[in-house]
Structure formats: C-alpha cells, structure tokens
Copies of this chain bind each other. A is one copy, B any other.
Amino acid sequence: MSCVAEPRVLVAGGSGYTGALAARLVERHPAFELHGVTSRSDAGRALSELYPHHRVDAVLRELDLDRDGAVDAAIVAYPHGAAAPVVAALRERGVRVVDLSADFRLRDRDEYERWYGPHGAPELFGEGVYGLPELYGSQVAEADLVANPGCYPTATLLALAPLAATGSIVDVVVDAKSGVSGAGRAPTAKTHFVTVTENVMPYGVGAHRHMPEIDQELAVLGAPVTATFTPHLLPLDQGELVSCYVTTSEPWSDERIAAAYEGWARERPFVDIVAAPPGVRDVRDTNVCAICARADARTGKVLVFAAIDNLWKGAASQAVQNLNLMFGLPETMGIEP
C-alpha cells in the first residue's frame, strides 16, 4: 500500500467490548499495524477465545511500557480513573493516544472528581482534544491526546449540533435508549439476561456521568443549557438511540431544519440525515450516525432522533476515525460507511 512504514498501534485494555473491537478494526485497517493488545485480567488468553466473532488471533498480554512505549499510537480502553496513569506513561514516551475513558473529556476538575473520583494524572487534566471528529476534526488532526467521547454524548451532540450552532436552543430533553453492551462486559445483576429480556427501565435518573459531558460540549456548540438526560436499558446488544425534544427561541419549519441538517452533514461522511426516524439496526456495526430532525407542528418543539452503534461510533470505530485524522489518512479508511 505504501513505501512508508505503517504506524504501529497498540490497544491497551483489549479484553472489554470496546477494546476488543478496536483491536479488530486496527488489525484489518489498511494503513495501521496492530502492535499488540494488552489486558490486565486476561493476559495469556487469545483474543479469539474471548471474542470468537472478531477473529483476531492476537494473544492478550500485560502492558510493557519499555516495549509498548515505542509504538506510534495507542488506543487506551481502560476503565475511568485507571486510564489516566497509563495515558500519562504512554504520552511521556511520545506515544499519541486516543483514550476511550472519560479521564480527559471534562474541562472542570471538580466536576470530574464529583463523578469519577481523584484524577490519575492531574498534570494532563484538560489536555485532551475532545474527539468528536464531525465537530473538532482539525484539532484532532494535530492532537497527541484525544479524549474519545462517551456514547451518549456522541449521539446527542451530533443530533443537536446544527441547532445549537444557531444559538436557538432554549431547553432540551434527551431520552436515551441503549443496548446492554454499553454496560460493559462485567456480569452483574443488571446485565443478567433474565433481568434484561422482556424489560425496559430507566437508570441513572438525575445522576448519570454523561450529563456534565453533554452540558459542557453543548455550551461549546452554542447551547449553554442544562439538558434533562435520562438513559434507559433495552433488551438488545449493540445500539443506541437518543430522542431529543428541543424547545427553541423561535419556531423552526421543517424546511429550515432540513436545510440546516443537510448542509451540515454534507461534508461529514459518517452522518446520514434520514427522512424517517432511524432504528439502531440501520447503523449496526458501522461508524454512522443516522439523524432525523422534524418540527412538531402541534407543540412547536423540534424533535431530533439519532441512532448510533454504541460500540462503534460510540467508542471503537470513532477512535479509529480519530486515529485516521491524527495520521493524515482519509477519515473513512478502514471504517467505510
């Protein structure tokens, strides 16, 4: 493909759902070389044993900074809090990092500590570029530390960006629905099949960690509001839908909405503006965010529905999209829509 050496990419923390998928995407990527996949809990096991369907033969191993510090880039998929020290160690050795945790997303340290506890690398706090490439692509391209957004913020911010940019958002209710993979691989009473099947329930009501992230970024986009955000757990594996109910300062017609969204999406290959409200199956196993926005003639609100795959656009494939930008590659390489 190229006479230049391919960037070598490490996946640190490959035994969880998002890390394992990141490893698969890097391994099949035409311009990256998968340097290795680390895991604290499952070192010694083949990734294909944990996730046969990913068909990645790499054997999980302990992180070895002497060896791993020499890679060109790393995707870090550690839990919140545990990620920061690893990111710091990799950055010290000059490794460019996309971090899937929340450790470098927030700008307000008090807010961070309220939700996640003490930060593990305070010297780097706030140094990450917020890695939502549809909004901050040029900054990502020059970043050495990218904070990959949370899955709910990804869908919500893409859903609201064109409206927010006009300054007309007065109030917003975000009712989010997620599949169980969003809760991670740890077996708990909440993720037990019997708890989830034939059920739907709200969780984290009034107190979900993605709230400050959503509000912080909405303000950046031009909507300094406190969103009402409630996630719900659904009996499905991958997929996330946000239903946004927006009160605007002035009425928006369907035509104006369509113009704003379609114009905005034109240069964004992973945003699909669709006529009918999307289902999450429409974007499964893709890096696409499908968005349908409409005026509600009865109430004057603007309704926006956005669907993503929480493991892909909400985490692993968005990390690859960020890596593509960081290495000057086509944004869609290896994750074509």
Contact = CB atoms under 8 A, between A and B. Distances in A.
A194 interface: yes
A235 B237 contact: no
Contacts of A234: 177, 200, 234-235
B173 A194 contact: no
A232 interface: yes
Nearest to A236: B198
A166 interface: no
Interface in A185-215: 185, 187-189, 191-203, 205-206, 211
Contacts of A274: 52
Interface string A268-297: 000000100111111111101010101011
Interface string A11-31: 000000100000000000000
Nearest to A272: B52
State the copy count for this chain: 4
A58 B12 CA distance: 40
B226 A286 contact: no
B197 A228 contact: no
Nearest to A211: B298
B303 A245 contact: no
Given A193-B191, A301-B228, A199 B236 contact: yes
A173 to B, nearest CB: 5
Contacts of A52: 274, 278-279, 281-283, 290
A53 interface: yes
A287 to B, nearest CB: 11
5 contacts: A171-B247, A180-B194, A198-B281, A228-B299, A228-B303
Given A173-B173, A187-B191, A228-B298, 5 more contacts: A52-B290, A55-B337, A198-B239, A226-B299, A285-B285
